[in-house]
Chain A
Amino acid sequence: MFQKTAGFRVFFWISLVCIGGFIFLPLLWMVNTALKPQAETFTMGFFNTVSLENIKSIVTNGTIMTYLKNSLIVSFASSFMATLVCTLAAYSFSKFRYTGRKLIMGAFMMSQAFPQAILLLSIYVLMQKTGLLGSYGALLISYVVFTLPVGTWTLKSYFDQLPDALIESAKIDGAGNLRIMGQIILPMAIPGMISVAIYGFVWSWNDLLYSMTLVTDSAKRTLASGLVMTYLGEASTNWGAMMAASIVSAIPVTIIFVFLQRYFIQGLTAGAVKG
């Protein structure tokens, strides 16, 4: 794309070193701290002595593993729900015309701007009334809030690129709406759906505000609030264990990401690039 002129080379190397350093040094420090013996946590040593003490204590620590499990369940489930809901809505917005469509589309889009902290106040009351407060259900339903506007929008632009002719010809062949959707449209939208699923996953995975408020029981707590509750204690700022917990918890998701990143990047942008 760019010619490798002297100027570009300078730009390239400066950027590579500076941004690369900015991204990776803290990450390295995290790994370094996690792998230090606990007594050396506050020394500035860089991979002097490697000890699995911290990692072991996390893996054998039932609570952190429970948080991890809860996070995985809630994030997968809410991301699945959100993707399903967004796909249907986006397909409808893109390929059907009916009264009220524009209004609903506008409302979905605007809802992105509603303060989540404020929605929380009423969602809290709602969950309390429906008896869902403190359950996985409360979290996974609420997390759809994060994904609905962006997810619907991304997928809509994805569907918009699919030529209407595809649908028309299938119709002439006598295919019903259900078959067109299931066999023609959805398979083509898979990269888009993957990227929406990942978007929803990461939002739920990272959420602190909702999980801190809607779930008070440590058995149902997710990682984000679990880490705060465990390590932000007044009397115990155990950085080593905290870093180890962060790393251990990032591993399963990292593995999924390494496999999916191509689809993620492709799906996330396909609609917008050509739009």
Chain B
Amino acid sequence: MKKSRFLALVLSVLMAASVLAACGGSGAGGGVASAPANGASGAAAGSTAPSGNPVNIVWAGWSGEEEASKEIFGRMRGAYEAESGNSVTWVGWTWADTAQQLLIRTQGSEQLDIAQVDIGIFNTLAQAGVLADVSEILGQGYLDSTFEASALEVGNVDGQQLAIPWSMASISMVYNPEILAQAGWDTVPATVEEFEKCLADIKALGGDVIPYAVSTKDATSAGDFMPWLWTFGGAIYGEDGSVTINSEAAIECIKWYQGMLEKGYIAMDTGRGEARQMFAQGKVAFYDDAVVAKGQAVSNGVAPQDVVNVCSAMERPVLKAGDTPQSTMWGHMLVVFKGSEYKEQAAELAKTLISDEVAMDYFTNNGMPPVTKSLITSDAVKSDAYLNGFMQSTATASLEETARMANASEVKTIITEELQAALLGQKTAEQAAANMESRLKAL
């Protein structure tokens, strides 16, 4: 009993101490929460006299958390801090959690000034109405002189410029030229028929190689499915916005997926993460990815200029020769939040990030294509073999059909679930397409 009493005492002291620590912590949290109130006058003063006191701005996103881009993001913050005298706090999550975490954070009392977003996350935030119009901060003149109209267009919703373009390209097919060469393919397949032959040849090589690591797992499978659906001539929505997924083309496309799974060309339980992982190990011949694929290869020890040898982009095969190859628009943008007290400083950070020097560093090491007029015409960018593969696809890329929808993730979840059901043999392709349609209509 004595011993237990002593233990209990020690434990209670520990616990009480942690309560105090926690309360101290939340007290500090309260301090942060009240800071913007003081900062408001500071920011107002700052707008008249830009050389105000140094402030701390919060930058959120996901790439600063990832192994492949962590260091570069550190350098980016350093560049801005040296230039402005302000400090930057990075808050990061995984890509999959970013939309949710940003939304939660805008509803709470925590500071949030600028964030890295992709097209899907941008859409969510724009729908929630938490983004500031950057043309009011930076001036339309600056935007027009810095970016092409097409790049600005992606971040423009109902006439409001809610995002600053940062990197634009497409999600394209990526392949490993070494594996293709082993299978006897010196050129990439251009039609679906050739593509299947190529997959068969790769499969015949034996070993653990997955010929085509198309996403079959999380929400990314809907993203991969869409351009194939277009390739087969289908679409989720018609011109008038009605649901048109229950079409011959969609059924054809689902059947094609089923066939590939049956022949072992694609695999279940494969998401973007797994595909990248295995591609980097030389166990995947094709998969769908954005230019960020380069970063993964570089962080695995491949020299930036040698990346094309193991990781090249190609146009998506078409149904019959002469068709337009399909791909989805991909891009990273920078957004400034309406609730931010330091919009000017946040916009300044964005300017630093797209400045020639910082953007070229990002491009060289991670393959992120710059978007400013001054860089897209530069030789270093134009002659980059890796990027050229992507740029071919980008020329014909379209926005995902859900890119401007409030319930985009719900739509994608439905597509994913039904596609999986068809792949797992629970439903026929016809049933899956019909269920996609009925569920989408019920939304």
Contact = CB atoms under 8 A, between A and B. Distances in A.
B95 interface: yes
Interface string A136-166: 1110100000000000000000000000000
Nearest to A262: B4
A230 B92 CA distance: 9
Interface string B245-257: 0000000000000
B35 to A, nearest CB: 13
Contacts of B105: 134, 216
A80 B273 contact: no
Contacts of A72: 18
Given A134-B108, A230-B65, A263-B7, A77 B93 contact: no
A229 interface: yes
Contacts of A197: 11, 15
How extensive is the interface on chain B, given as a class?
35 or more
A80 B30 CA distance: 23
Interface string A227-241: 011101111111000
Contacts of B66: 233-236
A228 B273 CA distance: 13
Interface in B13-65: 14-19, 21-23, 25-26, 29-30, 33, 62, 65
A55 interface: no
A115 interface: no
Contacts of A260: 7, 11
A191 B65 contact: no
Contact of A131 (B4, B33, B101): B33
A217 interface: yes
Contacts of B69: 235
A151 B67 CA distance: 42
A250 B74 CA distance: 30
Interface string A192-211: 01100100000000000000
Interface string B64-103: 0111110000000000000000000001111111000100
Contacts of A73: 18, 21-22, 25
B292 interface: yes
B271 to A, nearest CB: 8
B7 to A, nearest CB: 7
Contact of B110 (A193, A216, A229, A230): A216
- Mostly, the A contact residues are helix
B204 interface: no
Contact of A212 (B11, B67, B97): B97
A218 B110 contact: no
A213 interface: yes
B268 interface: no
A234 B26 contact: no
Contacts, number: 138
Given A233-B65, A235-B295, A218 B92 contact: yes
A233 B23 contact: no
Contact of B25 (A80, A187, A216, A220): A220
A194 B11 contact: yes
A77 B22 contact: yes
A234 B273 contact: yes
Interface residues of A, number: 47
Given A76-B18, A233-B62, A235-B66, A136 B26 contact: yes
A229 B104 contact: no
A167 to B, nearest CB: 19
Contacts of B12: 80
Interface string B362-395: 0000000000000000000000000000000000
Contact of B104 (A77, A81, A216, A263): A216
A187 B292 CA distance: 61
Contact of A136 (B16, B25, B101, B109): B25
B22 A235 contact: no
A259 interface: yes
A194 B8 contact: yes
B29 A137 contact: yes
A155 to B, nearest CB: 14
B276 interface: yes
A48 interface: no
Contacts of B30: 131, 135
Interface in B265-305: 272-274, 276-277, 281, 292, 295-296
A165 to B, nearest CB: 20
Contacts of B19: 76-77, 80-81, 140
Contact of B276 (A132, A140, A220, A234): A234
Interface in A106-133: 124, 127-128, 131-133
B18 A217 contact: no
Contacts of B65: 229-230, 233
Contact of B7 (A140, A218, A259): A259
Contacts of A193: 8
Given A235-B295, A237-B273, A229 B22 contact: no
A68 interface: no
Contact of A235 (B26, B281, B296): B296
Interface of A: 42, 72-74, 76-77, 79-81, 83, 124, 127-128, 131-138, 140, 187, 190-191, 193-194, 197, 212-213, 216-218, 220, 228-230, 232-238, 259-260, 263
List of 7 A-B pairs having minimum Cβ-Cβ separation, nearest first: A80-B15, A137-B26, A76-B18, A133-B108, A135-B29, A135-B26, A236-B67
27 contacts: A73-B18, A73-B22, A76-B15, A76-B19, A80-B15, A80-B19, A127-B108, A131-B30, A133-B110, A137-B26, A138-B26, A140-B19, A190-B4, A197-B11, A216-B110, A229-B65, A229-B97, A230-B65, A234-B272, A234-B276, A235-B67, A235-B69, A235-B295, A235-B296, A236-B67, A237-B273, A263-B7
